[in-house]
Amino acid sequence: MVKVTVAGAAGGIGQPLSLLLKLNPLVTELALYDIVNAHGVAADLSHINTPAVVTGHQPSGKEDNSAITAALKNTDLVVIPAGVPRKPGMTRADLFNINASIVRDLVANIARTAPNAAILIISNPVNSTVPIAAEVLKKLGVFNPRKLFGVTTLDVVRAETFLGGLLDVDPSKLRGKISVVGGHSGDTIVPLINYDSEISNKAKSRLSTSDYEKFVNRVQFGGDEVVKAKNGAGSATLSMALAGYRFAENILESLNGRNQPVLIPDSAYIYLPGIPYGKIFSDKHLNGVEFFSVPVRLQNGRIESFIDPFEGLVKTDEEQKLIEVALKGLTGSIKQGTEFVKGSKL
């Protein structure tokens, strides 16, 4: 029995993500929460002939907490794509003013109603919204760092797609062979393609320095490519739904009665000091930066451990330099999120 809740379920990401979740036979209940159109989306998806029972939850006004409480009750996994997307000319950080309080309030409800649920945060700016979630959970005394994930899978999906194109390899075969670490915006996104010897050799023989730099830039700014093409109608939704589902599916599979750790080649943006070896890793390699996206191993819906991309994976000097740039960008975003909650009344 697995209940999944999607908060922001009627949005551009929420709808196709909910569709994919409805197709997963491991899901027995799918609770769709949104401040608009939640019942419509739920009615629509409920006609699909898979086992998951779909329920819709929409508040009647600002003070109505009953809908979110019902959506979260007994849930195992909450996926959050609630919030506003970018328009051309905006950075993800420009979304902070609106999305910070949306994530804060949703996570406070999770802390009160479903403190044991795994939480997947999609809402941008992920580099700050995940620290916001962590701080809320800490303040309310229920923080389990093994169950909080910033969803950075779209960066991995993009890296696989773009590199596959350049190397003339089926991109789906690159899953688990390359990785993306760091954060989720511009130069905090760091693709690592040099630890699988076959891929690394292929990349060395096929990619010029300029091809490699263009590849890195395209992964780092893939989001902008979509924002520009949508021309005011939002940011990535369909590829994000696929990426969010891919990560949610990893969690569902790890919840599915398996006691063995499942190696998930996908990275997630996590709070390292709460994970075994994470604090040492953060002090040793990240200059004390506490949130970082790394490939994780899951067990029973939580992080069992992560792969150390410094000692476990071979990196080139270029990749090392990219990580140093990423760390500079992450420090301020993390602090902004943490300070925001410190100054908030929950």
Ligand X SMILES: NC(=O)c1ccc[n+]([C@@H]2O[C@H](COP(=O)([O-])OP(=O)(O)OC[C@H]3O[C@@H](n4cnc5c(N)ncnc54)[C@H](O)[C@@H]3O)[C@@H](O)[C@H]2O)c1
Is residue 206 marked as binding?
Answer: no
Q: How many CA atoms lie within 13 A of 215 on its CB side?
A: 25
Enumerate residues 28-67 that contact ligand X by CB under 6 A: 33-36
Least distance (Å) from ligand LMR to the CB of residue 52?
27
Least distance (Å) from ligand LMR to the CB of residue 223?
2
Residue-wise over 234-268: b if at least 16 C-beta within 10 A, else e?
A: bbbbebbbbbbbbbbbbbbbbbeeeeeebebbbbb
Q: Which of 5, 58, 123, 124 binds ligand LMR (CB under 6 A)?
A: 124
Enumerate residues 236-295 that contact ligand LMR by CB under 6 A: 236
Is 184 assigned a catalytic role? yes
H or E, element range at 252? helix 238-255
Here the tokens at position 283 are 């002090």
Q: Are 290 and 281 in contact (CB under 8 A)?
A: no
Closest CB to ligand LMR among residues 188, 194: 188
Least distance (Å) from ligand X to the CB of residue 18?
11
86 in contact with ligand LMR (CB under 6 A) = yes
Q: Which of 13, 32, 114, 203 binds ligand X (CB under 6 A)?
A: 13
H or E, element range at 306? strand 302-306
- What phi and psi values does residue 119 have, to the nearest 5 degrees? -120, 125
227 is in the binding site of which of ligand X, ligand LMR, none (Cβ under 5 to 8 A by kind)? Answer: ligand LMR
145 in contact with ligand X (CB under 6 A) = no
36 is in the binding site of which of ligand LMR, ligand X, none (Cβ under 5 to 8 A by kind)? Answer: ligand X
Nearest to 324 by CA among 149, 182, 214: 182
- Going 82 to 86 to 90 to 92, the CA torsion angle's sign is positive
Q: Are 35 and 62 in contact (CB under 8 A)?
A: no
Which residues, 6 or more positions from 260, have their beta carbon under 8 angstroms from its beta carbon? 299
Which of these is catalytic: 39, 47, 57, 184? 184
312 burial (CB, 10 Å; 0-12 / 13-18 / 19+) is exposed
Q: Which of 122, 159, 203, 298 binds ligand X (CB under 6 A)?
A: 122
Nearest to 198 by CA among 190, 187, 206: 206
Q: Which of 111, 190, 226, 327 binds ligand LMR (CB under 6 A)?
A: 226
Q: Which of 18, 75, 123, 188 binds ligand X (CB under 6 A)?
A: 123
Closest CB to ligand LMR among residues 192, 255: 192
Largest CA distance in the chain: 61
102 in contact with ligand X (CB under 6 A) = yes
Give the residue numbers marked as catalytic. Answer: 184
What residue numbers does the annotated binding site cover?
A: 8-14, 34, 86, 92, 99, 122-124, 158, 240
Contacts with ligand X, residue ranges (CB under 6 A): 7-8, 10-14, 33-36, 81-86, 95, 99, 102, 106, 122-124, 126, 151, 154, 184, 234-237, 240
Contacts with ligand LMR, residue ranges (CB under 6 A): 85-86, 92, 124, 154, 223, 226-227, 235-236
